[in-house]
Each structure stands twice: as structure tokens, then as C-alpha cells.
Structure 1
Amino acid sequence: MAQQLLQEKLTCAICLELYQDPVTLSCGHNFCADCIRDWLRSRVECPECRELCPARAELRRNVALSDVVAVVRAEPPAAGPDPGPDPDPGPDPDPGARCPLHGRPLELFCRTEGRCVCSACTVGDCRLHERVLLDAERREREAQLRATLEVTRQQATQAESQLQGLQQRSSQIQSSACNLASMVSGKFSRLLQALEMRHIKALQAIEVAKTQALAQAQEEEQRLRGHLEATAAFDRWTQDLLEQSDDRTFVQGSQLLAPPGPLGPLTPPQWDADQQLDGLKEFLNQLCGLLLDNGDPHGAPAEAADLGPPETPDALALVPSPVCPLRRKLWQNYRNLTFDPGSANRHLYLSRQDQRVEHRREPRGLVEPGSFELWQVQCAQSFQSGRHYWEVHTSNHLVTLGVAYPDLARHKLGPYTDNIGRGPSSWGLCVQEDSAQAWHNGEVQRLRGVPGKLLGVDLDLTSGCLTFYSLEPETQCLHTFHAIFTQPLHPVFWLLEGRTLTLCHRPEARLPPGLQEEASGLS
């Protein structure tokens, strides 16, 4: 047994025979001189430990090992007792752990063929292949698998996070779509109701005009028929008189016969189809303009929190509301206002016949000498007596609307960006993100509730009341100022960057008698 073990230790790992002229590498392993030289012609590592060998490494003969090999070769094999017939070795406890060709342990891995091999395979089939120790191959592959596993786990975590985000986004889209559909349905429902009311009103106006014109025509027709009858009677009487043979009778009859009076000019019925359609055309044109308006292509950039297109003013501000008696009552004093271009700050751009103002980041080149240095603009109209009402539509919060005396300062005073309500000559309502504030003479009063985008202003100079209303979703009073107004009042507005404000017009709005000179330019 000892001799067999000694022979295994003296066996070359390349040729699997006893060493022939053994040499030693720098790593300490020994091989036959011819075997290792042949090996190093195509490789640079040790066949056993895979340590790199220096190029053209000097191979020194192992004298001691050569002497031991010579002794083993000269010693006869030891005789032992006859073991008799080979006993049944029984089943191999690990049949896959040995080479099926050579019966040796599978200690190496052939990377070229991708399989486990024994040391004997390295001399034959896998002699020129890339081989590594089996445990080294395992360590390398374990590291690769662990790295791959970590990457897949990170990908799974990322996929789960993306899935949750996608589900949340889908839920938000569904909720937003439902809210948008509900809002659009409500808008169109109210718009259809308003259009139906306008339709009925237009038909009624046509019917009234037709009745008046036909009555006038019937009156003229009766006058003409009466004249024709009188003319026919005169013709008959004259003919009978001319046929009278008695001179006395003729003379007496001619004195009694009087012709009908002159017919006079004919008065045609007052009917003008274009006049009947003028109000309706104006209403429909303004309504279509509001619905189809996509905003100025050079408008201000959209806000970060705002991902949709710019909002158009509420078209229902132009048509009668079927639900709010208070608002219909306020419309009795409705005034169509326009902005004064000469007062607009250089960052404020007017459009739609001076009915719309927009705050942009880029300033205008030329400004009027009397324009506001603040982000403000006032209306061209002013009021000194009577009662007046107007409505405005804002694109978003952070706007201020109010009224002011003509001496309102055009330049900045104090730390504020507006001066509406900051002094004794102006009164204002500041609409913020989550509330509203009433300002006058530098004093503020915080109001409850959040106003809508459609707002109304009622100025009653007779009773000294200035009232602000929120008109969406229903008409509600926000605040009322009580004061004695001693000078004409101009409507005035302040806008934050990116905001848009529109003066709503009503086609049937008219000035009361006596205010034509006082409030110039109203339609």
C-alpha cells in the first residue's frame, strides 16, 4: 500500500507515468521534462495550480526526485497474500464524481468543452483545451450567479415600483377623465339650456316683430280698400249723372257730388330681417369666439402645475342663467367694459377688442406715459352715480379686482406688487389659492370660502355699496364695502404672471338714460 501511494506521488500529472527526468516549476510542482516543455509551447500556466509561468522559464532538473524515482523503478513490486477473487465492491456511492473513461476523480473543468474532466483527460482529449480546477470554476461561477441574482432582484424591485407607479397613474387618469367628463357634460348641459332659452327668445322676438309688421300692413290695406270703394262709388255716381238728360237735375247733382280725398303716401310695414338677426348674430359670434379661442400663440408659458390648454372664459356669462334669480336681477344694470390701453403695464397684453388682458414675462416695447409701473390695468369707463354691474372671468387664482379714484398712484408704494386697496382711494378683492382677501386703506379682511373663476362686481353709488360675488358653481356674496364715494370710480385689475382676465360682455347690455356722457365707450 505504501509503495502504491509513493508511486502515485511520483506520477506526472501530464503523462500519468512515473517521472522521466523530472523538473520543477517556479510554483513548486514537478513534471516530466518533455511533458512540461510540450505543455508550455501553447500555454503559460502550471497544469495543476494554473499559476502563470514566466516566459521562457528555466526548467531545473530535480535531482532528489530523480533519485527517488530511480529507487522506485529498481524495487520489485511487493508480494502480498493472495487476495483471492475480487470481492464485489458494491455500488459506487458517488458515480458522478469519477471520470467514466479513466475512473479518476473529476478534479478539473474543461472550459473549451464545458464539462468536468480528470487528470487523465488532460493528457488525451483535453490536452490543448483551457482547464481550471473544479473548485476554482465553481467560485467564479458562484460569483457570476450572485451578481446576476443581485441584478435580477434590483430589476424586480424596479419593475414593482414602476408597476405601482403605473397603476397609480392609471387610477389618476381614470379619476381625472371621470371628473373632466362630468365637468364637460355639465358645461354642455347648461350651454344647451341657455341656447334653448336664447332660441325661444329669438323666435318670440321674430313673432312680435311679425305681428307688428302684419298689423301695420293690415291697417294700410284697410285704408287702400276704403279708398278704392270710395273711388268706385264716385265713379258710379258720376256715370249716372253724366247719363242724366235733364239739365236741372244734372246741375244740382254735380253740386252735391264730391270726389274722394287724396290717397296720400303708402306707409310700408316695418320689417327688416337683418335687423331681427343682428342681436342673434352678435351673440352667436361672441359665443363661438369664446368656444373656439385657443389663446394667443405668443402667450405666457403654462404653469408647472398646469398640464392642460389655457382655459376659455365661461361662455355662459354671455347668456341668461336659468337658475339664479339674483344674477338675473344684477344683469338689469349690466355694463360692458373695456380696458384702457394707455394704463396697461408693459407686461400686460390686451386682445379681443380690449376685452381680454394677459400677463406675459416678456415686456412690450413701447408703453404710454400714464401706464402703471405695477402689474395693473384699469378700464376706460368710470362711474360717478347710479348702479352698475359687470362680470370678469379669470384663468386662475392670484388676481385682484376692484375700483379706484382717478388719482390712484401709477408707481409702486411699499413692499406690495399692487396698490389696489392699499390706500384710501381704492377698494379691492384679492383672490388667492385657497382664500380671498378684501382690502381698503391698507386694512385686510380675510374671507371664508374659495371664489370661482367667474366673478361679479356690483357698484351702487346711490347707497354707497361695493359688492363682490362669486358666480361659480352658484352665485354667492363674498364681501360688501360701505363708503361714501366722492369721485368717479374706475374698475381696476392686477394680474400675476401667466394669468388671463376677460371682461364678459352681454349683447343686450345698455346704459341707463343720463349716463352716456359719464360712462363713455359703453355698449
Structure 2
Amino acid sequence: MAAQLVEDQVTCSICLDRYRDPVTLPCGHSFCGGCMQDSWRCWEKTCPECRQPFPEGTKLCRSVTLSTLLKTLPLELQAQEAAIPRPEPGAGHGARCPRHGRPLEFFCRTDGLCVCSACTVHECRHHERALLDVERRVREDQLRARAAVARQQVTQAETQLQELQQQSSQIESSACTLTSVVSSRFSSLLQALEKLQASTLRNIEVAKKQALDQALSEIQRLTDHLEVLSQYDHSVQDLLGQVDDSSFFQELQQLSEPVESPGPLTTPQWDEEQQLSSMNEMLGPLCELLLEEKPPRVAGKAARAGPVALGPSPPVSSAMCPLRKKLWQNYRNLTFDPDTANQYLYLSHKDQQVTHHFQAQGPARPGSFELWQVQCAQSFRTGQHYWEVRTSDHSVTLGIAYPKLSRRKVGTHTDNIGRGPSSWGLCIQEDSIQAWHNGKAQRLHGVPGRLLGIDLNLTSGYLTFYSLEPQTQLLHTFHALFSQPLFPVFWLLEGRTLTLCHQPEAKPPPGPREEASALI
């Protein structure tokens, strides 16, 4: 008991340990010299015990009495202090510090350890610390939040798994239905071809019979004529062999006149080209039906003649594939909207061509894109529309967007076409093609040419991109229920040029009245 009382008298009330270089304040309370200096650096100059303030310039004086007392303390006290049991860390709420034997009341965030008050003064003096129970609540809240996130991920994964299972079932059902439809179509096609073959062979047989009958008739006519001529020749020869003159003249008077010439030969009516032409006429609708089925992966050779930029286009070539001929029925001539063009984009050729310059063309216009983008002046609400563009190189994006597409840069992307729900875009890079919508990208296969076609069908709800050189190739199709007017929009990298191709016979986009009438 006496040892404990002595120990209490030589314990600093700040670090709860024996005095180290003890100092005594004017108010009479004593503390460790280091503890007091730390206290005065962090707080105002007051006594930690009685809160008596001290004027500026007050110096800490060493307590000679306490220093001498500490040196003369019996060694037994030190032995008793060393004999205090040190509980292991983590022994529960009553755990004590293994170094100082004091309760673990704090948490050192720097070291990630539970510490006592003495540790906060010495070892963890300059570390970030917090009360143990406060830190425990914070960590528990964090752990609960992580568990909630994990549960959400589990729910999301289960939902995705269920969706994939449903999609797999739908794919299997769709494939089964598609197989049945394709088999039925090919069966019908084979039946049609068989009927066509039988009909064609019958026609050939009829034409052959007619031609052979004509030939047989001519052969019979010529044979009869030859027989008459032969009989006449025999009569003439007999007459020439007559010796008696009286008999000669008598028989000569009875000799009939020679038969008339048979006339021109009637050629049998037989024409192979006509038979083949008839067959081709019957096969033509079937071939067109197959070519016009959508979506065609490769519809055939594209004509090099097509809509050319910045000048009149030649008429549709007969060598152009049927798909592109059909798309041209809804061709639209578009122009760029100068008010939307980024200040680095230069419009020319009656706003049909845009070039990305390395220097700004002037101050930004109100309502223009902060990104390297430009929008067309025309928009579409209903119907089907098709346009073509020519690019100078890769690193361009083609797309459509609702009027609410943001003009400002959001995030780290250099363009916003397809980055949100209000736009759809096809990004063409040097080594890849990506289809973007609602912030999700789908990597595509193929290497597109410089001439590209865009087909927008608001009635059926699809947007299709085509590469037109060296052949017509479908790149990607978006399916959506478009609910607002749509504007063509483009992005291009520095040094790139993009041209809107014009076709002289193209129809202008329908106006509001035509759109309203189309909806009735």
C-alpha cells in the first residue's frame, strides 16, 4: 500500500507514467518536462490540473525535489513495477498495453494498433490517433457498408445470372424457331425451284416440238418437190431417147411444164437465248428476294460510282448492289450547323465539309460544342432516312442524338456521342471499331472503308451503319424506340476531314407538315 502511495506521488497526470525531467509550475503542480512542453505547444498556457493561466514568457523550472526523490526511490518499487502482469493484446475490453500495462484506450491509425495513454505521449506522439470505442464504431460502420455492398453485388450477380439463364433459354427458343423458319423457307424455295425447273423444261419441250414440226413440214415439202422433179427428169430423158420424130413431137406436147421452185426455206423457230431469257426472268424475283432480306452481312459488290461529295453525282449505276439501290430511295442531303461547331472545326463547301484545324478559328459560339463535335442542321422525327459521309482517315465518330445532348464536356472522354442514353455512335479507330450507347461500348469486327452509309428507320426503330468500300458491308445495327427528334452528329480528331455526300436527286428531309401527315 505504501509503495502504491509513493508511486502515485511520482506519476505524471498527463502521461500516467513516472516523471521524466519533472518541472513544477507556479501553481505548485508538477509534470514531466516533455509532457508540459507538448501541452503548451498544442494548447494555451494553463495548468493541466487546475487550469490556472500563465503569462507569456513563463519558463518551466526543473523540480529539484522530485528529481532527487526519483533517484532515491527504493529498487523494490522498480521491481514491483516490473512484476506487474502484462496481459496479451486483444484480451477483450480489459486488455492492457504490453509495454506500459495500462488500459488500451486509443487506436493509432498510423500503426494500426491499440495503444494506451502512455503510448500516445511517447511512441505514438506524432501519429494520427482516435479513441478506441470511436474508432471501433467507425470501423464497424465501414464493415457494415462493405457487407451491404457485398450483398448488393450478390443480388446483382444473382439477377444477372437469372437474366443470362433467361437469355440462354430465349436464344435456344429463338434458334429453334429460326431453324424452323429457315428450313421452311428453304423448303418453299426448293419447291419453287422444282416447279420452275419443271415449267422451264416443259416450255423447252414445247418449243422443241414446235420447231421440229416446222422442220419436218419443210422436209416433207422438199422431199415431195424432189420426187416430182425426179419424175420430170425421167420423162425428159425418155423423150430425148425417142427415135421417131412424129412420136417425139406428140409426146413433147403431152409433157407437162416443170414444177415451180419451192420458194425460200422456212427456218424452224428455235431460239436458245429466248429460252434462257425466260428462265432468267423467272429466277430474277427470287434472287432479288434473297438479296433484299435483311440484315445482309455482305450484300454484294458495291458500285464505285455513288454519291460524290461537293459535286453532282452520276445516276445510280446498274452495277450497284440491290441493297444500296434500295437505301438510295430515302437519300437525304445534309449540311452542318455552324452554330454547333467547335471552335477548332472549320466548315466549307456550303457547310458540307468540316476540317479539324490545330488552331482555333475564333471564339466559341453560344450553343457550340466544347468537344470536337458538330451537329447537322437537319433533324428527323418519323420515317426512314439515309445519308453517306466520306472521311479522310480513321479516328472519327458518327452518330445521332436527341436535342438535349450536352454541349459541355463531362468526364474524361473527348466526345460524348453514345456516352449517355440520348445518343448512339460508331467510333472508328485505327485498330478497332466500337458501337457506343448509354456509356457501354461493343467492340466490332471488320475494317471499314472511307465511304460510310447511315440508315435511320424511326418507324421500325433501328439505326444501321454500313461500310461502302470496297464492298457494301454491314457494320452494326442499334435497335431502340426513338421518342424525340434525332440530329446527325459527328466527332473528328485533329487533321481529319469529314464530308457529307450529296446526291442531286435526293429528297429533302420531310418538314413538320409532312411528318404530321405521315402520323395520321
TM range (shorter): 0.3 to 0.5
| TM-score, length-scaled by structure 2 | 0.46
| TM-score, length-scaled by structure 1 | 0.46
Q: Which has the larger radius of gyration?
A: 1
